[in-house]
Chain A
Amino acid sequence: MDDYKFLFKVVLVGNAGVGKTCLVRRFTQGLFPPGQGATIGVDFMIKTVEVGNEKVKLQIWDTAGQERFRSITQSYYRSAHALILVYDISCQPTFDCLTDWLREIEEYASCKVLRVLVGNKIDREDREIPTHVGEEFAERHNMYYLETSAKQSDNVERLFMQIAEDLMKQARSRDLPRYNSNHQNINGTTTPISDSSCCSGKFINAIVIFGKPTACIHCS
C-alpha cells in the first residue's frame, strides 16, 4: 500500500531559460543545477510533503524542452491539478509571452486547474519587471503570485507547499478539477457535481496501464 493519501499533478510552463527545471530541482532535490545541461530522461519529479498530518505526493512535470519552439504536447496539460506559469523578472520578453501561454493553458488545461504565476530569479540585480506589474497581471488573470529565487532557495518551498495546501483544501471541499470536462463550460463557470458522479466518473474508470489513476481523491 502507498503511504500517501493524495497525489497531485503539477505542471510548469513558461519560456525557455526562466528557471523551471531549477525550481523543480531545488524543491525536490534541494540543489541548484549548475549550467543549462538538459536533464535527459527525467520526465517528472516526485516529492512527498506533509500537509496537516496528511501525506501528499506531488508529481511535478517539466516541459522537456518542448517550450522552446512552442511545441508542448497537449497531453502534458491533461489531468493537471496545478499549473505554474514562470517568467524571469530580469527578462521582459519572458513576461510578454505570458499571454501566449495563458491562451495555450485555456485551450488544453482544465479551467478549474489551480494557476500560479511565478516571477523567478529575484537574486538578479538587473530586474526588468517590477513586483507590482507581476502582481497586477496575476490578479487580472485570477492567479496566485509569488516571486522566487531557485538559486538562493527563496520562496521555493513556500511555492510548492502553498500549492499542496490549496489542492488539499480543494480536495476536501471536492472542488478539484475532475477532468469530467462535461461539467465545465468554456467561460469557466461550473455546475454542481453530485457525489455520485465521482466514482462513475472518468477518473476511476480510466485505465492507466501499469499504474493507477493519477488521482481519484474521492475514493481514496
Chain B
Amino acid sequence: MDYTFPEKFDLIVVGTGVVESMLSAAASRVGKTVLHIDTNDYYGGQWASFNLETITKLKNDDNSSSNVRNPLVLEENTYCLGNNVFNVENVQFKYHIPNIPKKSDVSEDTSNMELDEKWSSERLLKESRKFNIDLAPKLQFGRGDFVGLLISSNISRYAEYRCVSRIITWLNGKLHVVPCSRADVFSNTNVTVIEKRMLMKVLTSLNDPEEDMKNYENQTFKDFLIDKKLSPNLIHFILYGISMSSDETPFSEGVGNAKRFLNSLGRFGKTPFLYSMYGSGELPQAFCRLSAVFGGVFALGQTPQGIIMHDNKFKSLKLGSQHLEADHLIMSVDNSPQQFITGVEKKYISRAVLITSSSMIESEKEHLTLLFYPPENGKNTVTLIELGSLTGTCPKGLFLVHLISRQNISPEEDFKHVVENLFLSEPFETPEENETARKPEILWSAYFSLPDTSESDLKSNVPDNVFLCPGPDLDLDYDGSIKMARDIFKRMYDDLEFLPRAPDPEEIILGEDEEGE
C-alpha cells in the first residue's frame, strides 16, 4: 500500500519478537510516538507460531540467507540491517506417513472404524490452518511476573489461556505423573503413605528454608534432598519435576525454583502453568495490539535499506524513499547490523516439534502435559510440552509435542534418546503390534536450532540510542524477557512507568446508561 510514514518518531522498533513488542507497547502507552516494523510478513520473528504450510518458510529463509539484504556498507555511515549470525539453523521437516491416504485392510472389522481414515501428509496439509506451531513454546507461572504484568497492564484481554493439567517425568524407563499439590500427593497411588508424609514435610519446609540455607550454602539441591532421607522416587520428583533442576543445581537455586513452583500452585489449575491458546506466537501480538491502540504505527513485510548513523548515534532509518528519524532505535538481534554484534558468542537451543497420533499417557480427558526428561548419559535435560486440540494448536485427535533443550550436538542428536524412548518414528504395519507398544506414533517431525542470545553481551558495540533485544531463551516462561524489556525501557525513559494499567472501555465510553461489570 502506498501510504507514507510520518518522518519523525520518538522510537522505531524493528522486529516483533516478545521483548521488542513489550517495549513498543510500553513506549506507546506512555505517549511516545512509535513506528514498529518487521521485515517478515508475519508477527513474532523467532517467537512466532506457524501453521503446517507456513512453517516451511523457515527452511527457505535459511537457505537463501535472505537476512542479509545488501552488501555490508552502502555509503559511509549507513549500516545494513540483518546479519547471517542469528538465524534459525539446521531446519529439517519430515513426514513419517504416506502422501495419500492408504485404504485400510481392516475396514470390515467394525471395531476398527476409526482406523478407516489413516493420516496422510495430504490429510494433514488439509488441516494445516488448525496448527499453530510455536518456534519458542512458553508456559507462564500462575503467579509469575508475566501473568502479573498482563493483569497490571490490562493486556490480559487479548489472549486466552489453558492450564497445564499434568506434569510427568521419566523414571526407571517409565512415565510417571509428578504429584505437585497436596491433593495430588495424597491421591497418587505410586507413592506410599510414608513417602507421602515425607514429601509433604519437605515441601512445607521449603517454604521456610532459613535454617538449611547456611548448612547447604556450597552444596547442591540434590545433596539436601538426599540428606532429608527421601526415597529415590521422591528425590526424582522434587529434583527434576517440582524444582526443574539437574544434579548440579546449587541448593539455593533449587529451593528458589521449587518455591516458585509451589507458590504458583492453585491459582488457576492443578499445576502452576498456563499456556496461551492458539500458540505462544499470540503473546507478542497482544503487546503489538496494545501499542497500536495507543497510537503505534505498524507495518509488516518492510525492507529497510539501512540505518543512517551520525556521530556514532542512530539518526534515521531508510525505508523506501523515506528517511525516518527517531530518538531511539530498538531491534531484535537477528535484525541487527553486523557491526553491532561483533564478538557476540553463538549458542543454540535445540528444538523439535512432533505431530503425534496419541498422547504420551492416554486418558479419557484431553491433557496439556509438561514433561521434564532428566539428564541422561551426558545429554541435557529435555523439556517436552504436549498440546492437544483444546489449545487451538492442532486438529482434534492429534497432539503437538514440543521438545526443548540446550543444544549440545544437534537437535536430532540431542533428542534421539527421548524420541526413541517415548515415540514410534515409523508406523508399525499392523494395529496389534502398535497396541502392544502403546507409544504415540510420529506423523510429522521438525528439527531446528534457535539462536540463544539471552545471555549474550548485546551492549558493548552498540550506539547509546540503539538497543538490541535477545531472541528466545531456554526459560519456560517470559519472566527473563520482561526483565530485559524493563531494563531497556528504564535506559530510555528513566522517569516513566513501564506498562501502567490501560483503561477499560467502560471507563472511556460516556453517555451510556449501562454500568460496568
Contacts and interface: CB of A to CB of B under 8 A. Distances in A.
Contacts of B163: 207
Which of B160, B288, B298, B392 gathers the greatest number of chain A CB atoms within 10 Å? B160
Interface string B284-320: 0110110011110111111000000000000000000
A28 B509 contact: yes
A65 interface: yes
A184 to B, nearest CB: 9
Contacts of A71: 43, 298-300
A68 interface: yes
Contacts of B302: 69
Interface string A167-180: 00000000000011
A211 B155 CA distance: 11
A75 B290 CA distance: 12
B508 A41 contact: yes
B183 interface: no
Contacts of A200: 365
A70 B129 contact: no
Interface in A29-44: 29-30, 38, 40-44
A133 interface: no
B378 interface: no
Interface in B475-517: 502-503, 505-506, 508-512, 514, 517
A94 B396 CA distance: 38
A186 B126 contact: yes
Contact of A78 (B278, B295, B512): B278
A202 interface: yes
A142 interface: no
Given A47-B512, A75-B286, A206 B503 contact: no
B225 interface: no
B159 A75 contact: yes
Contacts of B277: 78, 202, 206
B395 interface: yes
Contact of A75 (B150, B278, B390): B278
B502 A43 contact: yes
B293 A42 contact: yes
A102 interface: no
A27 B503 CA distance: 21
Contact of A70 (B127, B130, B300, B512): B300
B185 to A, nearest CB: 24
A209 B286 contact: no
B293 to A, nearest CB: 5
The interface residues of chain A, by DSSP majority, are classed as loop
Contacts of B157: 43, 208, 210-211
A206 B162 contact: yes
B241 to A, nearest CB: 23
Contacts of B506: 46
A107 B129 contact: yes
A99 B295 CA distance: 27
A94 B448 CA distance: 41
Contacts of A75: 158-159, 278, 282, 285-286, 289
Nearest to A17: B3
Interface in A6-61: 16, 28-30, 38, 40-48
A30 B292 CA distance: 25
B392 A202 contact: yes
Interface residues of B toward A: which range? 35 or more
Nearest to A2: B517
A38 B34 CA distance: 14
A137 interface: no
A28 B512 CA distance: 8
A173 B26 CA distance: 43
A69 B158 contact: no
B162 A40 contact: no
B298 A69 contact: yes
Nearest to A64: B292
B129 A186 contact: yes
A41 B130 contact: no
B1 interface: yes
Interface string A127-167: 00000000000000000000000000000000000000000
Which of B1, B156, B365 gathers the greatest number of chain A CB atoms within 10 Å? B1
A182 interface: yes
B99 to A, nearest CB: 18
B282 A40 contact: no
A73 interface: yes
A66 interface: yes
B119 to A, nearest CB: 15
Given A66-B292, A182-B130, A43 B286 contact: no
A181 interface: yes
Nearest to A55: B514
A220 interface: no
Interface string B146-178: 010011001011111111000000000000000
Nearest to B300: A71
A176 to B, nearest CB: 17
Given A68-B1, A71-B299, A41 B156 contact: no
Interface of A: 2, 16, 28-30, 38, 40-48, 64-66, 68-71, 73-76, 78-79, 107, 179-183, 185-186, 200-202, 205-211, 213
Given A66-B289, A71-B299, A75-B158, 10 more contacts: A41-B502, A48-B512, A48-B514, A69-B1, A69-B298, A75-B285, A78-B278, A180-B390, A207-B163, A210-B150
Interface of B: 1, 3, 43, 126-130, 147, 150-151, 154, 156-163, 268-269, 274, 277-278, 282, 285-286, 288-289, 292-295, 297-302, 365, 389-390, 392, 395-397, 502-503, 505-506, 508-512, 514, 517
17 contacts: A41-B293, A41-B508, A42-B293, A43-B293, A46-B514, A48-B514, A66-B298, A73-B43, A73-B285, A74-B43, A74-B282, A180-B389, A186-B128, A186-B129, A202-B390, A206-B277, A209-B161
